[in-house]
Amino acid sequence: MHTGRPVSMTAHPAAEAGYGIRFERTDLRNGAREFPVGCDAVVSTDHCTTLGNGSGATLMTVEHFMAALSFTGVGNVRIAIDGPEVPLMDGSAASFVEGILEAGVRRLAAPRRAIRVLEAVEVRRGDSWARLEPSGTRRFSCRIEFDAVAIGCQEAAVDLDDEGVASPVVRARTFVTGAAIRELQKRGLGNLPVDDVRALKDVIVIGDDGRVLNEDCRPFANEFASHKCLDAVGDLALAPAPIIGRFSGLRSGHALNVELLRRFIARTDAWRWEDGA
């Protein structure tokens, strides 16, 4: 989506329990290939979540694949990729989820650890906020408020333990404004055709008049808020283990999600480890 480079990405079974989730850029030399998965590894939240590995190399747009791992319950996997950006696919997590389910998953003998929220933690920026609070399930809810007539005020929620891959949040696609596309391309990012956005089929584009420009990409009822939920699921999947608790956000995005996760992990009195997730 951003670099325009072709990419091949393959998810491989992890060698053993406890391996965790690791990305490996096969186009780089050995010393710079591996990318840790964690909120401390995030080096940018500018229109996507980008990981860095300390060698100067980066890996962009990891959030939708990370969300797919959460929806399918995969916690041990090695992802080989030969470029700097995870492919957009259809702008959602659906293609990744389908691929994982088609390949199949295996339950390991070792129990998977989880992080249980004990106290509420919140971050605010202006009139936007994101919060984690105690709950018996892994629930995400988001509310968005846009002036664009195509979006307006929307809410969406998903319970990973109850709905899982059946949730419509899985197939909620990326949306972007035409102004944002133009701004990204001025900075050398953004591989979307500004002059022919109506031909786009994988990203919902909102025009300057607040309406959807590419008519072949009509959104479902609360798809915009659902995609914000998807992003939150993917960003919080950067935690060292699944989080048992409720996430809620008002006008939140990648920056707030990652800031919340960092603050939450640093608050060691606000959570505890549990086995058997």
Residue positions annotated with a catalytic role: 254
The rounded distance, in Å, linking the Cα atoms of 105 and 97 is: 11
**Cα(74)–Cα(13) distance, integer angstroms:** 10
Helices (H), the chain: 63-72, 94-103, 178-186, 223-236, 254-266
Report which DSSP code applies to 49.
-
Q: How far is CA 64 from CA 14, 111, 145, 153, 244, in A?
A: 20, 25, 22, 23, 20
Alpha helices (H) in 121-240, listed in sequence order: 178-186, 223-236
Torsion angle, alpha carbons of 135, 234, 230, 17, to 10: -70
Strand arrangement of the beta sheet that strand 21-25 belongs to:
9-13, 77-81, 21-25, 34-35
